[in-house]
Amino acid sequence: MTDFNATRDLFGASDSPATRLDIAPGAVLLRGFALEDVQAVLEAFHTMTLAAPLRHFVTPGGQTMSVAMTNCGEAGWVSDRRGYRYDRLDPITGTPWPAMPAPFLALAQRAARAAGFDGFKPDACLVNRYVPGARLTLHQDKNERDFRAPIVSVSLGLPAKFLFGGLERTDKTQRIMLHHGDVAVWGGVSRLAFHGVDTLKDGVHSATGNCRINLTFRKVW
């Protein structure tokens, strides 16, 4: 098992100020952008997952997803035999999803501005936990009603290989390593780009342990 906190420089991560990498028209990677917010964000993560525990959704085809998920905000993304959709209620508790924590919202809006998307007002945050062996296949975020707003994705913990393609599943896919504190933002002509996460490798990170936490902010309604 690799200690990624101790060996982060081997994977291209850095403690230097955030740097911007343009990966496609309207798509930006902000390296290290969330590092100053990590403590507050992780504390909020642990609090909100007590109210809405992480769980493994089932796809419409009956497959159990390898990534554990939950939500906060006005809407939550859910999946079951009836399909993919947003719902205002947690299907486990039957109650509204927890409110979006202030540190979550502040980070998402600050990252969106840095990427060139002013006025971002996310009303949903999909929270993912990846353990070694988990992955997310190529897909589009298209259950939202308003595609004018960007997607903001925050990576915490173990490094992961981000797959970012084009508007067709068969388009060429970039493979970009995401590190603790990196934030990816995509919108405009890249808003419906196919993307995913390659199989997570084993390791341990001082901030999250043996997993990767991903926060994905969207404007749903």
CATH of the domain at 205: 2.60.120.590
Structural domains of the chain, count: 1
Residue 10 lies in a domain: no
- Boundaries of domain holding 94: 20-218
pLDDT of residue 9: 33
For the beta carbon of residue 209, count every other beta carbon within 10 angstroms. 12
**46's tokens:** 């642990």
Residue 92 lies in a domain: yes
Q: What is the largest CA-CA distance in the chain?
A: 46
Bridge partners, residue 183, by sequence: 30, 154
Residue 196 lies in a domain: yes
Sequence-ordered alpha helix ranges (H) in 21-173: 38-51, 102-114
**In whole numbers, what is the pLDDT of the chain averaged over residues?**
93
Average pLDDT over residues 33-56: 98
**115's tokens:** 């990427």
Confidence of residue 6 (pLDDT cuts 50, 70, 90): very low
Assess contact for 203 and 4: CB atoms under 8 A: yes
Residue 82 lies in a domain: yes
For the beta carbon of residue 199, count every other beta carbon within 10 angstroms. 13
Q: Is the pTM of this model over 0.85?
A: yes
Residue 93 lies in a domain: yes
Q: Which residues of 120-143 are buried (b: 16+ CB within 10 A; e: fewer)?
A: bebbbbbbbbbeeebbbebeebeb
Confidence of residue 15 (pLDDT cuts 50, 70, 90): very low
What distances in angstroms separate CA 124 from CA 120, 132, 165, 173, 199, one per listed residue? 12, 26, 24, 27, 25
Average pLDDT over residues 195-202: 98
Residue 95 lies in a domain: yes
Confidence of residue 11 (pLDDT cuts 50, 70, 90): very low
Given a cut of 80, is residue 16 above it in pLDDT? no
Residue 12 lies in a domain: no
Choose among 37, 8, 32: nearest CA to 21.
32
pLDDT of residue 2: 72
Q: What are 142-194's pLDDT values in tens digits? A: 999 989 999 999 999 999 999 999 999 999 999 999 999 999 999 999 999 99
Q: What are 77-131's pLDDT values in tens digits? A: 999 999 999 999 999 999 999 999 999 999 999 999 999 999 999 999 999 999 9
As a dihedral over the C-alpha atoms of residue 6, residue 8, residue 10, residue 15, rounded to 10 degrees, the angle is: -120
pLDDT of residue 79: 97
Average pLDDT over residues 1-25: 61
Residue 200 lies in a domain: yes
